[in-house]
Amino acid sequence: EIVLTQSPTTMAASPGEKVTLTCRASSSVSYMHWYQQKSGASPKLWIYDTSNRASGVPNRFSGSGSGTSYSLTISSMETEDAATYYCQQWSSNPYTFGAGTKLELK
């Protein structure tokens, strides 16, 4: 099973600040996907196939990476971006998720 390790676990960012969330895989994966989950709500697909924004996702969000290291970047933090972000892979069964990064507004 491929283990995904997200860092940091929790962070706070000020409006306008650049934010980078990291996801490291225990073995090389072909793609990484990201989900946003706000408190009390279901997860939403945010970034798929490493770098593609899902429908409706603002272009201040971007994804990048390869092999065992991937990242999600917010170019300029906004209030509405406060949420927990999970990475997910399926290069081999089973599907696995990272433990999440909780992003708070400073």
Partner 1 sequence: EVQLVESGGGLVQPGRSLKLSCAASGFTFSNYGMAWVRQAPTKGLEWVATISYDGSSTYYRDSVKGRFTISRDNAKSTLYLQMDSLRSEDTATYYCARRKLRYFDYWGQGVMVTVSS
For 55, other C-beta atoms within 10 Å of its C-beta total: 6
Touching partner 1, residues 56-85 (CB under 8 A): none
Quick check: 36 and 82 in contact, CB under 8 A?
no
Site size toward partner 1, by CB under 8 A: 22
Quick check: 35 and 86 in contact, CB under 8 A?
yes
42 lies in the site for partner 1, by CB under 8 A = yes
Q: Which is nearer to partner 1, 24 or 44 (CB)?
A: 44
Mask of contacts with partner 1, 1-40, x by CB under 8 A?
Answer: ------------------------------x-x-x-x---
Strand pairing report for 83-89 and 33-37: antiparallel
Measured in whole angstroms, the distance separating CA 66 from the mean position of its chain's CA atoms is 14
Question: Which of 49, 69, 75, 104 forms a contact with partner 1 (CB under 8 A)?
Answer: 49
Q: Which is nearer to partner 1, 17 or 64 (CB)?
A: 64
Question: Site residues (CB under 8 A) for partner 1?
Answer: 31, 33, 35, 37, 42-45, 48-49, 54, 86, 88, 90, 93-100
